[in-house]
Amino acid sequence: MRYRNTWMTRGEQGCPRRRAVPHVRRVLGGAGLVLMALAAPGVVVAQIYDLAVVGGRVMDPESGLDAIRTVAIADGQIAALVEGSVDASEIVDASGLVVAPGFVDLHAHGQDLFSATLQVQDGVTTALELEGGAWPVADWYTQREGHAIIHFGASVSHGSVRRAAMGVDADSRYQPASTDEVQEIRRLVERGVDEGALGIGYGLAYYPGSSRDEIFRLFELAQTHDVVNFVHIRGAGRQLSLGSVDGVQEMIAAAASSGAAVHIVHIGSSGLTSVETLLDMIDGAQSRGLDVTTEVYPYTAASTGIGAAIFDPGWREQLGADFGDIEWVETGERLTAETFAMRRQEGGVIIAHIIPEETVETALADPAVIVASDGVPFVNGRAHPRGAGTFARVLGRYVRERGTLTLMEALGKMTLMPARRLEAWVPQMRTKGRIRVGADADLTMFDPETVIDRATFAEPAQPSVGIPNVVVAGTVVVRDGAVVDGVFPGQPIRRDLD
């Protein structure tokens, strides 16, 4: 039943939710906040929603809707989607803007408030740590509840569990686990899954000592518990041995033999010039019934710690790179053989300018590839810009400027597709990534003519522009381009705890 936008006296029309007035409606638009008295005391009105987004071009990748609609919100959910007007306690004027489902980021390492503040200004309403994961899982969730501006969640971290299982004296990066240690790793990972982890996260390139047997046993566990494996594959580039093709083959084989689902992270930075082959492999696996997916971020540079096993001897041949392609995040300097050795000894974060532009475009254009940021935490305002600008960059650079994607295709990769990647195992995700009645009221409003990233490698902590309003769980968290102070509507995304 659609309730008319008129005043009614008591008894005129039944409605499930009535409020006595005087009532004040807040109108949000370019001119700021306006207060309007709507009725005299004693008058009863039709349904008054908590929030209404009016005048915007609603785009929903699930239904294909692309039209001017009013989105009415009550109790944190979309309660009505209509062509006309509604009564609401707060109105957001979205005239001239696209109203999209809030962006869902499957790969966000920056799980702190500063990182979330930049991400929400990039349109992200759900940011999940699924590659690196967390440990202990229950503690990780407890630390964030009530303090999050956007929704959050994590997998259980294979790397952290491996360190715990093998002991402080072991080199858990390079040392193979014994049979007993593999059993302990499996036990601890299962504990994390039982605590609500969204899957199992692996950084195999960082733990070359992890045997294929160890990983297969964890895939078996994932299949038993109906969770996804989120994997940074072992290799990169075109190396004949331990290159990216080997890494993807291992994942496809493990998925086929265990029956588990696997999501291969950042196909661009792992695949480099082999990305087209890797996408064909993944497509072939999918066409034969395997649950294998992947993602990409829209940048031509990767980022990690300089002490990682990725930079062990032979890295230049494997990555097709040289010292001058490596940028020291703290200063922005490009490294030499001498400074590389020095920085590797002291440790720190680098940016590796190694990804061809055609690799990024090929992956983005593939209809099965999800967009995810791989955003890393900012240290003194410094980090890879992908943690601040990924989603606006796709919309501005690759939709508007380059035409790599249509707008609806891009939105699907940032909303519906990541939600669907999880929803079979995580019921909460069935109401994310959509604009329909009953869906969660997570909305991103942007101007398709001006939206763009501003974060650069020189100045990475710059928020995106052209995204004036963002709603999380029915609460406005970005208003007229500014983050609202003191609101923390972000909720934990977690598997059901039995």
Q: Which two tokens stand for residue 292?
A: 């294998």
- For residue 136, say if its preceding peptide bond is cis, omega within 30 degrees of 0: yes
Cα separation, 442 vs 207, whole angstroms:
37
Alpha-carbon span 189 to 2, nearest angstrom: 48
- The pair of three-digit structure tokens given for residue 288, joined into one six-digit string: 């034969």
Longest dimension (CA), the chain: 83
Residue 288: other Cβ atoms inside 10 A: 10
pTM value is 0.90
Angle CA 40–44–45, to nearest 5: 100
Domain with CATH 2.30.40 in the chain: 7-96
CATH superfamily ID and name for 101-300+355-483: Metal-dependent hydrolases (3.20.20.140)
**Per DSSP, what are the bridge partners of residue 98?**
57, 446
- 8-state DSSP, 100: E
Torsion of Cα atoms, 284 then 285 then 291 then 294, to 10°: -60
Residue 240's pLDDT is: 64
Identify whether the C-beta of residue 318 lies closer than 8 Å to the C-beta of residue 235. yes
Distance of CA 99 to the CA centre of its chain: 18
pLDDT value at residue 224: 97
pLDDT of residue 498: 66
Q: Which 3 state secondary structure label does DSSP give 51? A: strand
Q: What is the pLDDT of residue 27?
A: 45
Convert the pLDDT of each residue in 121-134 to its tens digit: 999 999 999 999 99
Mapping DSSP to helix (H, G, I), strand (E, B) and coil, where does residue 167 land?
coil
Tokens of 56: 């915007």
Parts of the chain belonging to CATH 3.20.20.140: 101-300+355-483
Residues in the chain: 498
Pure H helices in 288-398? 315-319, 337-346, 357-365, 386-393
User: Which residue stretches of 195-293 are H helix?
Assistant: 212-225, 244-258, 267-271, 275-287
Q: Collapsing DSSP states into helix, strand and coil, what is residue 153?
A: strand
Q: At what angle do helices 386-393 and 113-120 cross, to 10 degrees?
A: 20
CA angle 397–273–287, rounded 5-degree value? 85
CB atoms within 10 A of CB 324: 12
Question: Do residues 187 and 221 lie in contact, with contact meaning Cβ atoms separated by under 8 Å?
Answer: no
Environment class of 380 (CB within 10 Å of its CB; exposed 0-12, middle 13-18, buried 19+) = exposed
For residue 235, what pLDDT is reported?
A: 84
> What 8-state DSSP symbol labels residue 97?
S
Which amino acid, residue 111?
Answer: Q
Query: Per residue of the chain (498 residues), what is the pLDDT tens digit?
Result: 222 222 222 223 233 332 333 333 444 443 333 333 334 444 444 689 999 999 999 999 999 999 999 999 999 999 999 998 999 999 999 999 999 999 999 999 999 999 999 999 999 999 999 999 999 999 999 999 999 999 999 999 999 999 999 987 778 899 999 999 999 999 999 999 999 999 999 999 999 999 999 999 999 999 999 999 999 999 888 776 678 999 999 999 999 999 999 999 999 999 999 999 999 999 999 999 999 999 999 999 999 999 999 999 999 998 999 999 999 999 999 999 999 999 999 999 999 999 999 999 999 999 999 999 999 999 888 899 999 999 999 999 999 999 999 999 999 999 999 999 999 999 999 999 999 999 999 999 999 999 999 999 999 999 999 999 999 999 999 999 999 999 999 999 999 876
Other C-beta atoms lying within 10 Å of the C-beta of residue 236 = 25
Burial class (CB in 10 A: 0-12, 13-18, 19+), 39: middle
* Rg from Cα positions in the chain: 24
Domain range 7-96, CATH architecture: Roll (2.30)
Give the span between the Cα atoms of 195 and 176, in whole angstroms. Answer: 27
Rounded to whole angstroms, how far apart are CA atoms 241 and 224? 32
Which residue, among 467, 446, 443, 489, has the nearest Cα to 60 in the 3D structure? 443
Residue 118 tokens read as 């930049």
